[in-house]
Copies of this chain bind each other. A is one copy, B any other.
Amino acid sequence: MLNITRRQFLTMVGAAGGSSALLKTSLALGLMPDEPYTGPVKVKPAAKGQNPTALILGAGLAGLSTALELERAGYDCTILEASFRPGGRNLTVRNGDKIDEMGNPQICQFDKQENMYFNCGPARIPGHHRRLLHYCKTLHVPLQIKANSSKMAYFQDDKSLGGKPKRIVEYHTDARGLMSELLWKSADSNQFDQLLSKEDVAKLKKFSKTYGDLTENGKYIGSDRGGSTTDRMLDYPSPRAPIELKAMLDSSFWYGGLLGSETYDWAEPLMEPTGGMDNVIKAFLRNLKRQPVLNAQVKKIFNRGSGVEVTYEHGGKFHTVKADYCFNNIPAHFMAGIENNFSDNYQSGLNAIKRGHLFKIAFQMKERFWEKDGIYGGISYSKDAIGQIWYPSHDIHAQKGILLGAYTWNEKATKMFEALSQEERLKAGALSGEKIHPGYSKYIENGITIPWSRMNHQMGCGLRMSHDNFEKYYHVLQKPEGRHFMIGDQISHHTGWQEGALASSEQALQQLNKMLAANFNIGEPNYVS
> Which A residues contact B (CB, under 8 angstroms)?
1-2, 4-6, 27, 30, 32-34, 36-37, 127-128, 130-131, 133, 136-137, 142-147, 149-152, 164, 169, 173, 175-176, 179-180, 182-183, 185-186, 189, 191-192, 195-196, 200, 203-204, 206-208, 210-211, 224-237, 240, 245-246, 249-250, 254-255, 258-259, 262-264, 267-269, 271, 371-378, 393-394, 396-397, 431, 434-435, 438-439, 441, 478, 492-494, 499-500, 502-503, 506-507
Inter-subunit contact A376/B200 (CB<8 Å): no
Q: How far is the CA of A378 from the CA of B271 in the complex (A)?
A: 13
Inter-subunit contact B203/A250 (CB<8 Å): yes
Inter-subunit contact B376/A233 (CB<8 Å): no
Known: A145-B376, A200-B245, A210-B255; 18 extra A-B contacts, CB below 8 A, are A1-B438, A33-B228, A131-B233, A136-B397, A144-B394, A144-B396, A145-B377, A145-B394, A147-B269, A179-B179, A179-B207, A182-B186, A232-B264, A233-B494, A233-B500, A234-B493, A268-B268, A269-B376
Inter-subunit contact B30/A164 (CB<8 Å): yes
Decide yes or no: A34 and B373 within 8 Å by CB, A186-B186, A397-B137, A503-B233 being known contacts.
yes
Chain B residues within 8 Å of A150, by CB: 127, 267-269
28 chain-A/chain-B pairs, Cβ below 8 angstroms? A33-B229, A36-B372, A127-B150, A127-B152, A131-B233, A133-B371, A136-B397, A142-B396, A143-B376, A145-B269, A147-B268, A147-B269, A150-B268, A175-B211, A179-B180, A179-B211, A203-B249, A203-B250, A207-B254, A210-B254, A210-B259, A227-B264, A231-B503, A233-B492, A233-B493, A237-B264, A268-B268, A271-B376
Chain B residues within 8 Å of A1, by CB: 434-435, 438
Q: How far is the CA of A250 from the CA of B206 in the complex (A)?
A: 11
Chain B residues within 8 Å of A374, by CB: 34, 127-128, 130
